[in-house]
Chain A
Amino acid sequence: MKLTLKAAKLENWKTGKRNNMITVTNIQKSFGHTHAVDGVSFEVAPGEIYGLVGADGAGKTTTLRLLCGALRADAGDVTVAGYDIRQQTEQARAHIGYLSQRFSMYEDLTVLENIRFFAEVRGMKSNEWYPRCMELLDFVGLAPFKDRFAGMLSGGMKQKLGLASALVTRPQVLLLDEPTTGVDPVTRQDFWQLIIKLVSLTPGPSPHGGGENEFPSPAGRGVRGEGVSVIISTPYMDEAARCNRIGFMRKGQLIAEGTPGQLRSILDERILELRGSPLPLLKQIAAQQPGVEDVRAFGDRLHLRVEAGQAQAVMRLLKTTIPAGGGTLLDSRPIPPALEDVFMALAHDE
């Protein structure tokens, strides 16, 4: 524990962790008898968007709080940019931008004054924060509104101000806790475009080295690329599909992890869509067929999950059993699995 900061960082690099911006090892956190986070491990590389996907109470927010050091883990380790969040909290935090679910801002301060406040709290000097703030306001599209009181901003603009504030110290890790829940789809789309742009950059030479590695922003000026890593929590499956990698969380644990493509491939050729009538009868018949694991109504269709390799056999079977049972089968076909199907199949296997 007597290591200097530099040495500690070097130590981590030597142990092969240098490729990860964030490394989470078996973290645990209980509140009373509730295991909010129960042995979670994952790693995020620079420039990666990692999605923590799950329902309320799955442990997403607690995980993010453990990652930024706002909560202390009962057990396990977190390193951020090579720094241990427990031992080197300040150094680790210096690399983290955190946008909490309820981002609070000073409504009676202007947009610029709000960011300035964040910058100064984090110890930035005026010759540093001003150009950085202007750069960020340009990036999120708030430059024309810099003198507007934050209380007068629309919901979408407030969220962009939150993002700009979280980015002001050039963090290498951005933690976003359900930034898009209940948000207007138009705003959500804009927000995601910003996040993907942030990570799609090649890393700049050094956060403090002065090298410019700019990319075009809507206003023409640029934000230096830092190869930011993003961890975003969301309850939306369609949103999870936009992440580079996803961890499905359930009851405090990561039940599966992978790219959206990898996770979907678990159920390749295992989801069938049926059309016909009457739907309740079709549902009943389909549920009784061997090889069928799950049947769900989906608007005017049915979705079936079948055992691996059984798709053709089940479709053949239904062609005879449905008419025999008094129903009409108009169409049956394998469809590409959705992430929601994967989540349910995994929950089913538990």
Chain B
Amino acid sequence: MPLPMIYVDELTRKFGDFTAVDQVSFEVNAGEIVGYLGPNGCGKTTTIRMLLGLLAPTSGSATVMGYDAFSQTEQVRMRAGYMSQKFAIYDDLTVWENLQFYAGVYGITDRARIAETLAHVGLTGHEKALTGDLSVGWRQRLALGIALVHQPKLLFLDEPTSGVDPTARRVFWDLIYDLAAQGVTILVTTHYMDEAEYCHRVGMMRNGKLLAMDTPGVLKQRYIPGEIYEIYAAPLLLGLAALEKTPGVLRTALAGDHLRVILEPGSGTKTIQKTLQAAGVTVSSIQPGEPTLEDVFLALAKS
């Protein structure tokens, strides 16, 4: 059994009275893409900073590629790549110059390596472009190139796709899948629920605690408490009020122009149909809904 690439045990970090990361434990295996999902301020970035040895934990331990994240920081940083939320790229340098500069930080002067890295992130032909003129999506690819130039086996990506459009986001994920196929392990943070679906496994973080970590499929199966239905009915608010009091209805929410409910497993839709009719609500359709990771998050946050 090979050692996990990342091994985190009861990791905790406090800032004064505030516990930013609260007894977090998880493992990431070689070749995995693991997502770390949670809102701003939930402790995602603090976790990554500790794994990179940029911040000491209050208690707990972490090993990264077999090295202690806190006493063998240099070993970790030589072997891991990091793309931070707010990456520092020099706007007044060209694409090539930026990459050359960061390669130099790692002692890499080989021009072929730099060209190869640019090809990898799809920026060949744009070497002379001024970085300040690049679109958000291209800047992000350059930032990825910078994190990759020393050919790390492990890559930390901290909200890499924040603010880029869906097309650029997909292109970026294609790059991530290519890297994973070449054996690079990836830990990526995001606050996009739908983006977490791209990961092999997803950890859900809230208020410093890791609530669960598993594949998207297993998370949905295990934590969504019942069956999801989309109910098109009018008037909407009357329907909401009626269903909130109905036994067997675990959650009712307004979803744009319809209601979204979670029903106890096996309870069927007959009862709610009757309840709605009795309340004077006209039901036009009731359809099964697709479970989402947001449903999982809401269920976990409630428990």
Contacts and interface: CB of A to CB of B under 8 A. Distances in A.
A141 to B, nearest CB: 15
A298 B215 CA distance: 12
Contacts of A299: 197-200, 215-216
Nearest to A49: B256
Contacts of A243: 256
Interface in A181-204: 181-187, 189, 192-193, 196-197, 200-201
Interface string B190-223: 0111100111100000100000000110000000
Contact of B235 (A54, A200, A237, A260): A200
B254 A185 contact: no
A238 B197 contact: no
B174 interface: yes
B192 A236 contact: yes
B284 interface: no
A290 interface: no
Contacts of A242: 255-256
A193 B181 contact: no
Nearest to B301: A186
* Interface size class of chain B, counting residues whose CB lies under 8 Å from the partner chain: 35 or more
B131 to A, nearest CB: 16
Interface stretch (B9-17, B22-30, B144-152, B160-168): B160-168
B177 A237 contact: no
B298 A189 contact: yes
Contacts of A215: 237
Contacts of B216: 299
A249 to B, nearest CB: 9
B294 interface: yes
Contacts of A216: 237, 241
A189 B253 contact: yes
B41 interface: yes
A184 B206 contact: yes
A139 interface: no
A292 to B, nearest CB: 15
A340 interface: yes
B137 to A, nearest CB: 8
A242 B258 CA distance: 9
A237 B166 contact: yes
Most buried by B among A238, A260, A297, A348: A297
Interface stretch (A13-21, A22-30, A55-63, A115-123): A55-63
Nearest to A348: B167
Nearest to A294: B170
Nearest to A350: B167
Interface residues of A, number: 47
A55 B136 contact: yes
Given A56-B164, A244-B256, A344 B200 contact: no
B237 A238 contact: no
A83 interface: no
Interface in B212-258: 215-216, 235-237, 241, 253-257
Interface string B262-303: 000000000000000000000000000010101001100100
B4 interface: no
Contact of B194 (A189, A197, A340, A344): A340
A241 B254 CA distance: 12
A56 B136 contact: yes
B4 to A, nearest CB: 20
Given A155-B41, A193-B254, A55 B294 contact: no
Interface string A276-312: 0000100000000000000011111000000000000
B31 interface: no
A300 B257 CA distance: 32
B161 to A, nearest CB: 10
Interface in B83-141: 135-136
A98 interface: no
Contact of B170 (A49, A197, A296, A300): A296
A250 interface: yes
26 contacts: A55-B136, A55-B166, A181-B191, A182-B39, A185-B193, A185-B297, A185-B301, A193-B254, A196-B236, A197-B254, A200-B254, A201-B237, A216-B237, A235-B163, A236-B193, A237-B166, A297-B173, A298-B198, A299-B198, A299-B215, A299-B216, A300-B215, A340-B194, A343-B166, A343-B167, A347-B166
Given A196-B256, A297-B173, 6 more contacts: A193-B253, A244-B256, A296-B174, A297-B198, A299-B216, A347-B167
